[in-house]
Amino acid sequence: MELSNKRILVTGGAGFLGKQVVSQLVAAGANPEKITVPRSKDYNLCQWEACQRAVDQQDVIVHLAAHVGGIGLNQQKPAELFYDNLMMGTQLIHAAYQSGVEKFVCVGTICAYPKFTPVPFKEDDIWNGYPEETNAPYGVAKKALLVQLQAYRQQYGFNGIYLLPVNLYGPEDNFDPNSSHVIPALIRKVHEAQLNGDKELPVWGDGSPTREFLYSEDAARGIVMATQKYDHEDPVNLGTNHEVPIKDLIELICKLMNYNGEIVWQTDKPNGQPRRCLDTERARERFGFEAQVEF
């Protein structure tokens, strides 16, 4: 797809990943004046009329907007996470179809995978079980959008694709303790321990789970490559195919931040999914994406 003459809507385009996607779109030839970033104060995408207004006159939709957070937020607000993500996505897809949008790029979540998925996660395993309990409402809501896009492609010939990025990190990450993901959450935790002079650092779980981390600029580049080159119903992983134990992660962050206190594992707190590591072969084969920034 030649992007230079396309009108492109990027939901969540002012966020952590969204800014990188807008930048990568421009680098790939998109006209910055034809890129629209709807702001939540003007467009509540949980409302049908806002979705209709947002997609009007657009050629391409890149849907990044999400109500998202770590284990804590998923435990506190499972209903909100389910409703908001389902309603935003499903209404936006339907409005885009009705409006004659050329292509819909939906960015899903690694939380859609079953709790005990064989490692590395292959896209074909996504329906082989229920997601990990702490983030299941969010994961199921986002996974429903994959079904919707496949159904709309089958019945209407609507060109929608679905991408599954792994945990992200990078510039302008979210450090809010109520909603941040693991890397910024741990960085903030160490920073506050240093400010307070704490000799102990409490960390949720037992350190055994593994996670895979994709640099936000790499993720954005993969999303834009898929926008240009990928047209199929099959979901596609975006990752590095490299897993990091949480124990190693926090020890590395402490070392890089020169924190010498003792890590205290809160084993009464949930670990989350035991392992996360993606098979990234499909992205490489289908549209030539490989991560460039090593962890």
- Out of 113, 138, 162, 230, pick the active-site residue: 138
The whole-angstrom separation of Cα 257 and Cα 266 is 21
Structural contact between residues 278 and 121, judged by C-beta atoms closer than 8 angstroms: yes
* Helix 216-229 and helix 16-27, axial crossing angle in degrees, nearest 10: 50
Cβ pair 285, 232 in contact under 8 A:
no
Identity at 293, one-letter amino acid code: V
Angle between helices 182-196 and 246-256 (to 10 degrees): 50
Rounded CA separation 72/69 (Å): 8
What strands lie across the sheet with 210-215, from one edge to the other? 167-169, 210-215, 243-245
* Cα 38 from Cα 36, distance rounded (Å): 6
How far are the Cα atoms of 112, 123, 278 from residue 117, in angstroms, in the given order?
A: 11, 10, 10
Six-digit token string for 236: 């596609």
The H or E element that residue 60 is part of is strand 60-63
Q: Any catalytic annotation for residue 97?
A: no
Bond preceding residue 32 cis, omega within 30 of 0: no
Q: Would you name the residues annotated as active-site residues?
A: 138
